[in-house]
Amino acid sequence: MWSGGGEVKWFNWDVNQPNKVQIEQYGAMRNYKWHDVSSKNENFHFFCYSEHVHVVMEQKTWEEALEHCREHYKDLAVIYSEKNMTTIQNDLNTEETTEHVWIGLRFLAGDWFWLDGNKSEYEAWSSGGKPKCPGEKLACGALVSKGDVWEARNCEEKLHFICD
Protein backbone atom coordinates (compact mmCIF):
# COMPACT_ATOMS: atom_id res chain seq x y z
CA MET A 1 0.00 0.00 0.00
CA TRP A 2 1.26 3.52 -0.80
CA SER A 3 1.66 6.01 2.06
CA GLY A 4 -1.48 7.77 0.84
CA GLY A 5 -3.49 4.55 1.16
CA GLY A 6 -3.65 3.68 -2.55
CA GLU A 7 -3.22 0.16 -3.86
CA VAL A 8 0.14 -0.67 -5.43
CA LYS A 9 -0.49 -1.92 -8.97
CA TRP A 10 3.10 -1.95 -10.23
CA PHE A 11 6.19 -3.34 -8.53
CA ASN A 12 9.87 -2.65 -9.09
CA TRP A 13 11.60 -4.74 -6.40
CA ASP A 14 15.30 -5.46 -6.78
CA VAL A 15 16.53 -9.07 -6.94
CA ASN A 16 15.95 -10.84 -3.57
CA GLN A 17 13.70 -8.01 -2.34
CA PRO A 18 11.69 -7.71 -0.20
CA ASN A 19 13.86 -9.91 1.98
CA LYS A 20 12.74 -9.29 5.57
CA VAL A 21 9.04 -8.64 5.28
CA GLN A 22 8.27 -9.02 9.01
CA ILE A 23 11.17 -6.84 10.20
CA GLU A 24 11.70 -4.23 7.47
CA GLN A 25 8.55 -2.18 7.04
CA TYR A 26 9.79 0.83 5.11
CA GLY A 27 10.55 1.23 1.42
CA ALA A 28 13.54 2.87 -0.23
CA MET A 29 14.97 3.06 -3.72
CA ARG A 30 18.54 2.10 -4.60
CA ASN A 31 19.81 2.07 -8.18
CA TYR A 32 16.23 2.63 -9.41
CA LYS A 33 15.00 -0.55 -7.69
CA TRP A 34 12.90 -0.96 -4.54
CA HIS A 35 14.32 -2.31 -1.26
CA ASP A 36 12.73 -2.93 2.11
CA VAL A 37 14.54 -1.22 4.99
CA SER A 38 14.20 -1.61 8.74
CA SER A 39 14.89 1.73 10.31
CA LYS A 40 12.92 4.89 9.90
CA ASN A 41 15.92 6.61 11.49
CA GLU A 42 18.02 6.22 8.34
CA ASN A 43 18.27 9.35 6.21
CA PHE A 44 17.02 9.02 2.65
CA HIS A 45 16.29 11.56 -0.04
CA PHE A 46 12.62 11.67 -0.97
CA PHE A 47 10.21 12.96 -3.56
CA CYS A 48 6.52 13.76 -3.43
CA TYR A 49 3.96 13.02 -6.11
CA SER A 50 0.56 14.55 -6.65
CA GLU A 51 -1.85 14.34 -9.54
CA HIS A 52 -2.77 17.96 -8.92
CA VAL A 53 -0.96 20.90 -10.43
CA HIS A 54 -0.15 24.42 -9.28
CA VAL A 55 -2.05 27.16 -11.09
CA VAL A 56 0.18 30.25 -10.92
CA MET A 57 -1.77 33.48 -11.05
CA GLU A 58 1.09 35.61 -12.37
CA GLN A 59 1.21 36.59 -16.03
CA LYS A 60 4.52 35.65 -17.62
CA THR A 61 5.95 34.78 -21.02
CA TRP A 62 6.45 31.06 -21.71
CA GLU A 63 10.17 31.26 -20.86
CA GLU A 64 9.50 33.23 -17.67
CA ALA A 65 6.82 30.71 -16.67
CA LEU A 66 9.25 27.85 -17.30
CA GLU A 67 11.88 29.51 -15.12
CA HIS A 68 9.32 30.16 -12.35
CA CYS A 69 8.10 26.55 -12.35
CA ARG A 70 11.62 25.16 -12.23
CA GLU A 71 12.55 27.49 -9.40
CA HIS A 72 9.45 26.95 -7.24
CA TYR A 73 7.98 23.59 -8.31
CA LYS A 74 9.19 21.04 -10.85
CA ASP A 75 8.38 22.12 -14.41
CA LEU A 76 5.61 23.49 -16.61
CA ALA A 77 2.77 20.95 -16.60
CA VAL A 78 2.81 18.02 -19.00
CA ILE A 79 -0.49 16.44 -20.14
CA TYR A 80 -0.23 12.76 -21.12
CA SER A 81 -3.79 11.50 -20.86
CA GLU A 82 -7.44 12.44 -20.82
CA LYS A 83 -7.53 11.65 -17.09
CA ASN A 84 -4.57 13.97 -16.54
CA MET A 85 -6.34 16.68 -18.60
CA THR A 86 -9.50 16.28 -16.49
CA THR A 87 -7.53 16.67 -13.26
CA ILE A 88 -5.87 19.82 -14.59
CA GLN A 89 -9.20 21.26 -15.78
CA ASN A 90 -10.68 20.62 -12.32
CA ASP A 91 -7.77 22.50 -10.74
CA LEU A 92 -8.16 25.33 -13.29
CA ASN A 93 -11.90 25.65 -12.70
CA THR A 94 -11.22 26.85 -9.15
CA GLU A 95 -9.32 29.91 -10.43
CA GLU A 96 -10.07 32.93 -12.63
CA THR A 97 -7.24 32.71 -15.13
CA THR A 98 -6.30 34.28 -18.43
CA GLU A 99 -8.11 32.78 -21.44
CA HIS A 100 -5.10 30.54 -22.10
CA VAL A 101 -2.51 29.14 -19.66
CA TRP A 102 1.01 27.99 -20.47
CA ILE A 103 1.81 24.27 -20.36
CA GLY A 104 5.09 22.45 -20.99
CA LEU A 105 4.56 22.02 -24.73
CA ARG A 106 7.00 23.52 -27.25
CA PHE A 107 7.67 23.47 -31.01
CA LEU A 108 11.32 23.05 -31.91
CA ALA A 109 13.26 21.52 -34.81
CA GLY A 110 10.11 20.70 -36.74
CA ASP A 111 8.06 18.98 -34.04
CA TRP A 112 6.04 19.52 -30.88
CA PHE A 113 7.45 17.98 -27.71
CA TRP A 114 6.88 17.98 -23.97
CA LEU A 115 9.58 19.50 -21.79
CA ASP A 116 10.55 16.11 -20.38
CA GLY A 117 11.32 14.96 -23.94
CA ASN A 118 8.52 12.40 -24.11
CA LYS A 119 5.99 12.11 -26.87
CA SER A 120 2.42 11.37 -25.95
CA GLU A 121 -0.16 9.52 -27.99
CA TYR A 122 -2.82 11.64 -26.29
CA GLU A 123 -3.40 14.93 -28.10
CA ALA A 124 -5.95 17.65 -27.50
CA TRP A 125 -5.31 20.22 -30.21
CA SER A 126 -8.09 22.66 -31.11
CA SER A 127 -10.23 22.05 -34.21
CA GLY A 128 -7.41 23.08 -36.56
CA GLY A 129 -5.31 20.15 -35.34
CA LYS A 130 -1.63 20.10 -34.45
CA PRO A 131 0.16 22.95 -36.26
CA LYS A 132 2.70 21.37 -38.61
CA CYS A 133 4.80 24.47 -39.05
CA PRO A 134 3.57 27.27 -36.80
CA GLY A 135 4.75 30.81 -37.31
CA GLU A 136 8.05 31.63 -35.67
CA LYS A 137 6.37 33.20 -32.67
CA LEU A 138 3.63 30.56 -32.32
CA ALA A 139 5.97 27.93 -30.93
CA CYS A 140 4.63 27.57 -27.39
CA GLY A 141 1.74 25.42 -26.26
CA ALA A 142 -1.10 26.73 -24.14
CA LEU A 143 -4.24 25.17 -22.74
CA VAL A 144 -7.56 26.94 -23.29
CA SER A 145 -8.63 27.67 -19.70
CA LYS A 146 -12.33 27.01 -20.09
CA GLY A 147 -11.97 24.22 -22.61
CA ASP A 148 -10.05 21.04 -23.04
CA VAL A 149 -7.85 21.87 -26.01
CA TRP A 150 -4.32 23.08 -26.69
CA GLU A 151 -3.31 25.87 -29.03
CA ALA A 152 -0.06 27.26 -30.39
CA ARG A 153 0.50 30.73 -28.94
CA ASN A 154 3.02 33.54 -29.21
CA CYS A 155 5.73 32.70 -26.66
CA GLU A 156 5.97 36.38 -25.69
CA GLU A 157 2.34 36.59 -24.54
CA LYS A 158 1.98 37.02 -20.81
CA LEU A 159 -0.34 34.32 -19.48
CA HIS A 160 -1.04 32.51 -16.25
CA PHE A 161 0.54 29.07 -16.21
CA ILE A 162 0.44 25.60 -14.68
CA CYS A 163 3.34 23.93 -12.90
CA ASP A 164 3.81 20.27 -11.99
For 80-122, write each residue's pLDDT tens digit.
889 889 989 988 887 888 999 999 999 988 889 999 887 778 8
Alpha helices (H) along 16-81: 62-72
pLDDT above 80 for 52: no
- From the candidate CATH numbers 3.10.100.10, 3.30.360.10, 3.90.230.10, 3.40.1390.10, the one assigned to the domain spanning 54-163: 3.10.100.10
Question: Residue ranges per domain, the chain?
Answer: 1-49, 54-163
Query: What is the three-class DSSP state of 113?
Result: strand
- Is the pTM above the cut of 0.85? no
* Average model confidence (pLDDT) across the chain: 84
Cα-Cα-Cα-Cα dihedral sign, residues 92, 96, 97, 98: positive
For 3-36, write each residue's pLDDT tens digit.
656 677 777 888 988 887 666 577 787 777 888 8
